[in-house]
Amino acid sequence: MDHATYDDVCHVFIDPEPNRGDWNMAIDELLLTAAVERGQCSVRLYRWAEPTISLGYFQRFDDVPTPLRLAELPVVRRLTGGGAILHHHELTYSCAVPAGHPLARNPKDLYLRVHERLIDVLAAFGIHVQFRGDEERDRNREFLCFARGDSFDVVMDGGHKVLGSAQRRRKGSVLQHGSLVLHRSEFAPQFPGIEELALPIIPAAELTKKLADVLSSQFAAKRIFREFTPAEIQSIHESLPK
């Protein structure tokens, strides 16, 4: 496909059940490949079947000083960079944007657009969050990414980070995914979620559907809410680590 063009349809996936970490990462890989090879734009909302550590693309398993409380958790590698993330009580989104799409041109534009829409959705539920802002970027080397700071982070009062995102570019196409912390994990109690920091508590299914609807509307004139085909599921299976 000519990378200057793209299919003006957004494929929307809401995973019905939480999945293992390797399965979640394999699906995001599939969606990035579809963006590169077919110009497909996708939005996906998903959860995790068990607490899992994902390492940034450039982190090495052997070099990571894993804190003792996290040492027994499953570990997977993300497509995107940055520090390690503990995925537990969260809602994760991903969007795959083909090279020809206007939002693929500048990485900052995609961060801003997605985070702005998420801020709007939470505000509609009575939960007020904001960008961290133009404070000096925190370049510490904390193991967990949520202990680091960035101006694009979405935070609540007191500077508590509740959403962070990362990107991977491939032949001009972009995969962006991010973690919205719903409530704190016993494996990282220093990171409260929106359920500890604000009221009311939002039903997860309602929040998921609203986010899928609002995010997908930013990428294409037409949206298709669908499930993965048998061929796609087979491809995901084949890409799992052996």
- Six token digits for residue 25: 């990462």
CA angle (157, 163, 165) in 5-degree steps: 145
145 in catalytic set = yes
Distances in Å between the Cα of 89 and the Cα atoms of 138, 147, 154 are 25, 17, 17
Provide the token pair at 83.
């520090």
Question: Is there a contact between 161 and 191 (Cβ–Cβ < 8 Å)?
Answer: yes
Q: How many CB atoms lie within 10 A of CB 146?
A: 21
Name every residue whose Cβ is closer than 8 Å to that of residue 72 and which is 6 or more positions away in sequence: none
User: What is the C-alpha separation between 90 and 163, in angstroms, rounded?
Assistant: 10
Residues with active-site annotation? 145
